[in-house]
Amino acid sequence: MAVVVFVVLALVAVASGVAVFTVDSMARATFALALSFVAVGGELILLDLGYLGVVTILMMVMEMAVMAVFMIMFMMNPAGLMPMSMLHNRRGALVVSVLTFVVLAAGSLLVPWPTRRGGPPGDPTRVLGEAIMGSKMLVMMAVSAVLFATMISALVLATARGRYDRADAATVVDHQERP
């Protein structure tokens, strides 16, 4: 069963990664990229790398959420939904991608990999967390929740009206000018 789930997640990751460059809007590309990273995070969890999998999922979903917020705020078309091409300089990109693949494949096949010494730790998640963040792990976990709450609050405060407020823009401006 784990092999089937792994293959399905791999196919989802590759298909959504391809979709990033084939869809016709920034918003759709953002969601396709988020789906690709969620699938990769799921694969990491299947490989018993729970901490890395959850961190990958959380980081990438938050990054895509920030990207979506900036698209809504700054793009001239509404939230990046108007059609546009995500491909630029196709020949140059093809050359760079093929060369990168060849270098990485050659490196993975030709480099003498070291042999493993010792066994895995009892709790690899804890050891990895301590190696990355040291004694600041609890602080970083709290800060991430505060940053998420701050981003949501900033988005709520940046909107001129609420979700269920159907007033026109003049009424909203009139309410804001009153003392």
Q: Name the strand (E) or helix (H) holding 28.
A: helix 26-46
Over the stretch 29-51, which tens digit does the pLDDT of each residue have?
888 999 999 999 999 999 888 88
Average of per-residue pLDDT across 50-61: 87
Q: Which of helix, strand or coil describes residue 116?
A: coil
Long-range interactions of 52-56: CB distance < 8 A, separation 24+: 52/128
For residue 39, with 0-12 CB atoms within 10 Å meaning exposed, 13-18 middle and 19 or more buried, which class applies?
buried
Please give the share of the chain, as a percent, with pLDDT higher than 90.
Answer: 26
What does pLDDT average to over the chain?
A: 81
Over the stretch 111-166, which tens digit does the pLDDT of each residue have?
998 888 888 888 887 787 778 777 777 787 788 888 888 888 887 777 666 555 55
Q: How confident is the model at residue 101 (pLDDT cuts 50, 70, 90)?
A: very high
What pLDDT does residue 80 have?
60
C-alpha closest to that of 128 among 49, 19, 13: 49
Q: Which of helix, strand or coil describes residue 12?
A: helix
Cα 149 to the chain's mean position, in Å? 18
Question: Quick check: pTM over 0.75?
Answer: no
Cα dihedral 166, 169, 172, 174 in deg (nearest 10): -140
pLDDT at residue 86 greater than cutoff 90 = no
Report the C-alpha gap between 14 and 6 in whole angstroms. 12
